[in-house]
A and B are shown apart, each in its own frame.
Chain A
Amino acid sequence: AQKVTQAQTEISVVEKEDVTLDCVYETRDTTYYLFWYKQPPSGELVFLIRRNSFDEQNEISGRYSWNFQKSTSSFNFTITASQVVDSAVYFCALSERNSGNTPLVFGKGTRLSVIA
């Protein structure tokens, strides 16, 4: 069965600090996709990144970076030099390729508060 665990319920950091959001997943499939979404106060889920299971290369996009490690089934998300606008709930999600469709399995989310 698929499962995504985000052990950190809430994190508070001071502006300009770096912060890492943890994501651990479980799947029996060898081919799968991992996602991160951001939910700002306005409520919509904003797509941040998609990573397939065959690509373990880490990715950096501006102040955002993602560390994918199959050996530990983790897909962690780091924000460097955090800003107040980064305050949101962040969701990690998993999709198995061979399910015939791609419903996402979400973690419970991590609420990040960046304090000025």
Chain B
Amino acid sequence: EAGVTQFPSHSVIEKGQTVTLRCDPISGHDNLYWYRRVMGKEIKFLLHFVKESKQDESGMPNNRFLAERTGGTYSTLKVQPAELEDSGVYFCASSLPGTRGKEQYFGPGTRLTVT
């Protein structure tokens, strides 16, 4: 069974540009999460989808970040326009239906560098 996949693995962009990150969850996993780790800090929650609906987006830093999950399958996270402080590793995770304490399976992350 394929795990969570993320694309690209690494992206280097200039300040002010747009970047779109993609996450493909494990098949059958209704729950999809985005997290981010800024250098030297904790991995922090960004948002949670249940199928195509945003269950919780309390961790989204500002309106430059837009997440979508059309059709309840893969998800994209767009940063527009990117700022220097957006640099970090963006992780995607998925879990089985139901929201109570199910283990989340993580992808390898996308390392975003904004210069």
Is the A/B pair a real complex?
Answer: yes
Q: Considering only CB atoms, which chain A residue lies closest to B110 in the complex?
A: A43
B56 touches A47 (CB 8 A): no
Please give the number of chain B residues whose Cβ is less than 8 angstroms from any Cβ of chain A in the complex: 31
Decide: A100 near B56, CB < 8 A? Known: A45-B91, A52-B101, A95-B101: yes
In the complex, B25 has a CB within 8 A of chain A = no
B28 at the interface (CB under 8 A from A): no
Kindly state the separation between the CA atoms of A37 and B105 in the bound complex, as whole angstroms: 10
Residue A25 is within 8 A (CB to CB) of chain B in the complex: no
Min C-beta distance of A96 to chain B, whole Å: 9
Give the distance to chain A from B67, nearest Cβ to Cβ, in Å.
14
Q: Is A72 part of the binding interface, using a Cβ–Cβ cutoff of 8 Å?
A: no
B106 on the A face (CB < 8 A): yes
Q: Is B11 an interface residue (CB 8 A)?
A: no
Chain A stretch 11-51: residues in CB contact (< 8 A) with chain B: 33, 35, 37, 42-47, 50
Write out the residue numbers on chain B whose beta carbons fall within 8 Å of the beta carbon of A95: 101
Which residues on B sit within 8 Å (CB–CB) of A47?
Answer: 103-106
Q: Tell me, rounded to whole Å, the shortest Cβ–Cβ distance linking B108 to chain A.
A: 4
Stretch at the interface among B15-23, B40-48, B70-78, B79-87: B40-48
- Kindly identify which residue among B40, B59, B103 contacts A103, using a CB–CB cutoff of 8 Å: B59
* Structural contact, B56 and A44, CB atoms closer than 8 A: no
- Taking CB as reference atom, which chain B residue is nearest A53? B101
Q: Are B56 and A101 neighbours in the complex by a CB distance under 8 Å? A: yes
CA distance A106 to B104 in the complex (A): 13
**A88 touches B (CB below 8 Å):** no
Chain A residues whose C-beta falls within 8 Å of the C-beta of B108 in the assembled complex: 42-44
Known: A52-B101, A100-B56, A101-B99. A37 touches B106 (CB 8 A): yes
- Which 3 A-B pairs give the minimum distances between C-beta atoms? A45-B106, A103-B45, A33-B101
A-B contact pairs, 29 of them (CB 8 A): A4-B42, A35-B103, A37-B106, A42-B108, A43-B9, A43-B108, A44-B107, A44-B108, A45-B43, A45-B93, A46-B106, A47-B104, A95-B101, A100-B55, A101-B55, A102-B95, A102-B102, A103-B33, A103-B48, A103-B56, A104-B35, A104-B43, A104-B104, A105-B45, A106-B35, A106-B42, A108-B40, A108-B41, A109-B43
